Amino acid sequence: MGTCRYCKKRSVTISDRIGFCADCIRTHFDEVWPQIKQVHEASRRRYNLPLNPPRVESGLQCGLCVHACRIPEGCNGFCGLRRVEQGHLRGGRPHEGNLSYYHDPLPTNCVGSFVCPAGTGSGFPRYAISRGPEYGFKNLAVFYHACSFNCLYCQNYHYKDYTGLPPRVDARGLARAVDDSTTCICYFGGDPSPQILHAIKASKLALKRAQGKILRICWETNGCLQEPYLGMMAGLSLDSGGCVKFDLKAWHDEIHHALCGVTNRKTLENFQVLSRMIEKRPEPPFLIASTLLVPGYVDEQEVAAIARFLAGLNPDIPYSLLGFYPHFFLHDLPTTSRAHAMRCRDVALGEGLRNVHVGNIHLLGEDYN
């Protein structure tokens, strides 16, 4: 049972780590943010990551993501991967892949599996092997060990132990991991954004090796890339039959800051940009959105606003609502309740979306007391 330090409300859906309820974060952000920021800083110190994006005027600028870090000599960008050494940016270049990868049998537990070719056969025969799930084939799952966000509930936070280690797999080596039974590559993490140069190069090499066979390029991302990399990423998916899956973590920038430590404005802007490409390839779906239902923070108000945004762009955008499991710095919250998930689904449908999915249903628990 947590207590909001501002309004003194008590609830099991108030994290003692964050210290404030969602309503107070939304309406009194300037007053509560300094205390929440301390939690983010503590989570980053644990892994020796920069507390803030560097903004040194004489530093080298990294133009990959929303932070546009200006990094001084001998220091790292906010992601912890990009680094300036002897006047040059290192880390995340095509020959410097800090990642792990594995082959995942299809259909797999992918955020987009409820609409993608691997899970449904959508786009057959041009983009899918069969009219249904692609049994007998596999996905090359590429997990990048860096991220441009700082989510307090990160489900894969162990990657932070590897962010600062030397690169392991160059783009050519990763492309060679695609064999005759691989029909898709999915980049996730962490996030692909700090290593987008590596992912783009590996994708092009893998597609060339595939020689016209089905090989979809997919992404699970926080969506905060800069151009021209956003367009390059989208183009690879459009042409190959893959999808781009944005994790829209919250609507209000205040809630997004509280949960993820950074703004969501670039993410929403980029999603709107990519939504204009949907008509170029309606099937299989090119653009997918998902939201993790963090109890007490990603509530019906957040979901309704996100769904309204999506429906205004295109009501056929698939939207997946995902069950939350207590993890990392938000281990003091309950799992998402079934009632919460169903209410959010109904809210999203009520805002005009036509394809709303509830994922991670095995995590859903009893309603909050």
Q: Using the predicted structure, report yes or no on whether residue 368 has a pLDDT greater than 80.
A: no
The whole-number pLDDT of residue 309 equals: 98
Angle, CA of 287, 270 and 220, to the nearest 5°: 50
Q: Is 203 helix (H, G, I), strand (E, B) or coil?
A: helix
Q: Using the predicted structure, report yes or no on whether residue 33 has a pLDDT greater than 70.
A: yes
CB 288 within 8 A of CB 271: no
pTM higher than the cut 0.85: yes
Query: Percentage of residues in the chain with pLDDT exceeding 90?
Result: 91
pLDDT tens-digit map of 194-242: 999 999 999 999 999 999 899 999 999 999 999 999 999 999 999 999 9
The whole-number pLDDT of residue 367 equals: 83
pLDDT tens-digit map of 331-347: 999 999 999 999 999 99
The whole-number pLDDT of residue 165 equals: 81
Residues 303-309: what's their mean pLDDT? 98
Is pLDDT larger for residue 38 or for residue 361? 38
The whole-number pLDDT of residue 77 equals: 96
Confidence of residue 167 (pLDDT cuts 50, 70, 90): confident
Query: Percentage of residues in the chain with pLDDT exceeding 70?
Result: 100
Is pLDDT larger for residue 361 or for residue 245? 245
Q: Enumerate residues 6+ apart whose C-beta is below 8 A from 5.
A: 19, 20, 32, 35
Q: Using the predicted structure, report yes or no on whether residue 109 has a pLDDT greater than 70.
A: yes
Go through 49-63 and write b for each residue having 16 or more CB atoms within 10 A of its CB, e for each that does not: bbbebbeeeebbebe
How far apart are alpha carbons 327 and 17 in whole angstroms?
12
Q: CB-side exposure of 257: number of CA atoms within 13 Å? A: 19
Residue 271: in which H helix or E strand, if any?
helix 265-275
State the fold for domain 99-363: TIM Barrel (3.20.20)
The domains of the chain are located at 99-363
Q: What is the mean pLDDT of the chain?
A: 95
Residues 48-69: what's their mean pLDDT? 95
How far apart are alpha carbons 311 and 353 in whole angstroms?
5
Confidence of residue 108 (pLDDT cuts 50, 70, 90): confident
Residues 232-254: what's their mean pLDDT? 98
Residue with tokens 């590996």: 202
The whole-number pLDDT of residue 186 equals: 97
The whole-number pLDDT of residue 369 equals: 62
Q: Using the predicted structure, report yes or no on whether residue 314 has a pLDDT greater than 90.
A: yes
pLDDT tens-digit map of 284-300: 999 999 999 999 999 99
